[in-house]
Structure 1
Amino acid sequence: MMEVSIIIINYNTEDLLRKCIASIISKTENLLYEIIVVDNHSENSPHKMLVENFPDVFFVSSKENLGFGKANNLGASYATGKYLFLLNSDTILINNAIKVLFDYKEKDVKKEIGACGGNLFTEDMKPNFSFSMYYPSLYSIVAYRLHLSFLLNNEIFNSIGIPKEVSIIIGADLFIERELFNNLNGFDPAFFMYVEDGELQLRIKKKGLKMMSVPEAKIIHLQGASSSTFFKMKTEFDSYFYYFKKQFNRKSQSRYKNIELFSNSLKLFYFILTNNKAKKKDYLDILKYIYAKQ
């Protein structure tokens, strides 16, 4: 039986994808694994590169950009492994990280652990955002939007050297049993990007299971290409707007909308004062978008 199905979503990141897969093959030992690449309708398909360099990789081509969650769901539908390892294309394995996570989960005889992930590093080997100690809430949104994040537990990296319980393993390196993922129906397809990993793990938490940071597994996360400011703001707003309705109620959703209107109005005022025309347009556009959202 295949032990781990590694699922990688690609969207215009062919060079990063090549390095990611090469690191998996180079570092992964004593493990039966398969690699599934889902291409999210990239401008230039990586299929030729994969055939020439990694002929054993299973390639899935989507006819549209499904976003992060739906693309992972698609990849998981082809998986045969006992476990799924959802890995970003902009990652590079430092050590035999997948085997570390596999062994850790295999020792979970009481079935108490829902998901786990390793320590992520920047390219120059500094601690990188690996997990969150809290789930999204109105309180956390207010803290971040008003630059009061010091009021939150902002620990993002496991420095104690032993596994510890966290709230959210970020989606860049999420290790989860395939049966559990399927029982939860995977990621909620209503999320295009942002929040989907936290929402999935909140559902795991509600089943009484734990999310664990396993620092022995070490991975570089490059966090490469970024989208336009307005697209990111719009997509993030849509995700949180849906999240608050789904996990809480319409009152929380309405309060979230008001928080975003207030905080983005402050930012628009700042960029008007500083005569930053590009940012002024982005924030004017997002305010119009948020205001019209029902």
Structure 2
Amino acid sequence: MQLSVIILNYNVRYFLELCVLSVQSAIENIDAEIIVVDNNSSDDSCKMMKERFPAVKLIENKENSGFPKGNNIGVAQAKGKYICILNPDTVVAEDTFVKVLAFAERQKKLGIVGVKLIDGAGKFLPESKRGIPTPWVAFTKIAALYKLFPKVKSFGKYYASHLNENQTGQVEILVGAFMVMQRDLYLEIGGFDEDCFMYSDDIDLSYMVLQKGKSNFYFHETTVIHYKGESTIKDETYMKRFQEAMNFFYKKHFKVSSLFSIFMKLGILFFSFVKMFQGKSQLKPEKEQYVLVSKNKELSIKLSEILKPEVDFVDLTIEKLTINLLLQYKGTVEIIFDNEFISFKECIKFMESAKNNKYTFKIMLKNSDFLIGSDNSNERGTIVKFGV
């Protein structure tokens, strides 16, 4: 078998359905398997998986054992030459794995391959490629020096600024939302360190791969949506675990002075507060126009009854899905993609081309009864249910 896709889920039932559907489309022409590991979700994630995806291997943990252990459990049952660690709040394009695996096969001393990630509004996520967060690099991040002095190379290491978002090349650290690597290498380094509950596990895994003399790569030729805000509610528990994760990484890999340790603790505390308040709900602008892109006129009528403002209809039997579709609309516009007629790749491409504060996006899954999406990467997404 060529590929095993490991998806660790915890209470994101609707995003999980979207993710698995996109992965199924992406592995149609690959000898591959999907393994969903559920960390004792209290929603109906497992029920949904059994009903909608009965052929997908489902592992039901009896407790929330954390990100590292949950993924290790999944990889232990994987059969593929390559594994993909994939967050459940992601959407892959139909050709994502074909492109990534072809790239991986061409590399010598391959470590981990990551891809270009965008949020639910189509905006590039800079954590798609990162450098080792040494104490100095972490300081430049915490102090926002990379923003204040963007042309100073030594300040841009945290987000691997030697590459722009549309350049493929070697990087040091990749994000756990999407990681492809050989299963044998994952097992050789022991997988994710289970002493870390979450948040620095991907940094640690990337670093351990580098220590084995392997090379990690950022691959820009395919784009994956990472809604991100679904992964965790950024509350006091998040802040505590984020601090613990950073302390874990520094204690494991770096020797620093007591004075610097105190400084880093203060920095981590400050950074944690910033991350926590980024996740607080913000006042959203009212949607002035909803636009359904589909071939189903009746669906726009049904959505108009639910969303209240009239939903405009773009008929794909007449028009093509291009940025020009938006030029006729003023104000804040929400684009609804009908997945029955629009591929995930087309959705992603359009989101990237139309990224703008005035545009938001939702996807309506085929054979489902809900719309789903997220307006930004700092808060949880929106799910709108309707009768089919």
TM over 0.5: yes
Match in the other structure for 1:277: none
Instruction: State the 4+ residue runs in structure 1 displaced beyond 6 angstroms.
Output: 265-268
Q: 1:27 to 1:266 in 2, by over 3 A?
A: closer
CA deviations 1:77-119 (Å, max 9, x no partner) are 11011111001100011341112111111223xx321110211
Query: Displacement of 1:163 after TM fit?
Result: 2.5
Q: Distance in 2 between matches of 1:86 and 1:266?
A: 26
Answer yes or no: is the 8 Å Cα contact 1:244–1:253 preserved in 2.
Answer: no
2:240 aligned with 1:241: no
Q: 1:163 to 1:263 in 2, by over 3 A?
A: closer
2:128 aligned with 1:131: yes
Q: Between 66-75 and 257-266, report the one with greater CA deviation.
A: 257-266
Q: Distance in 1 between matches of 2:72 and 2:173?
A: 19
Match in the other structure for 1:215: 220
Q: 1:257 to 1:14 in 2, by over 3 A?
A: farther
- The letter of the residue matching 2:116 is N
Query: Displacement of 1:248 after TM fit?
Result: 1.7
| 2:79 aligned counterpart, secondary structure | coil
- The letter of the residue matching 1:240 is M
Match in the other structure for 2:313: none
Name the count of aligned residue pairs: 264
2:151 aligned with 1:152: no
Query: Displacement of 1:259 after TM fit?
Result: 2.5
- Which of the two has greater helix per residue? 1
Match in the other structure for 1:184: 189
Gaps of 5+ in 2: 148-154, 274-388
The answer to which structure, 1 or 2, has the higher relative contact order (CA under 8 A, 6+ apart) is: 1
Instruction: State the TM-score, normalizing by the size of structure 2.
Output: 0.63
Q: Distance in 2 between matches of 1:64 and 1:263?
A: 28
Structure number with larger C-alpha Rg: 2
Gaps of 5+ in 1: 269-294
Answer yes or no: is the 8 Å Cα contact 2:111–2:216 preserved in 1.
Answer: yes
| 1:193 aligned counterpart, secondary structure | coil
- The letter of the residue matching 1:116 is V
Q: 1:48 to 1:245 in 2, by over 3 A?
A: same
Query: Displacement of 1:11 after TM fit?
Result: 0.5
| Identity %, equivalent residues | 30
Match in the other structure for 1:281: none
Query: Displacement of 1:35 after TM fit?
Result: 0.5
Q: 1:130 to 1:182 in 2, by over 3 A?
A: same
Match in the other structure for 1:76: 75
- The letter of the residue matching 1:234 is K
Q: Distance in 2 between matches of 1:166 and 1:263?
A: 24
Q: Between 161-170 and 184-193, report the one with greater CA deviation.
A: 161-170
Query: Displacement of 1:266 after TM fit?
Result: 11
CA deviations 1:49-78 (Å, max 9, x no partner) are 111111111111111111111111111011
Answer yes or no: is the 8 Å Cα contact 1:7–1:37 preserved in 2.
Answer: yes
2:106 aligned with 1:107: yes
Query: Displacement of 1:131 after TM fit?
Result: 2.7
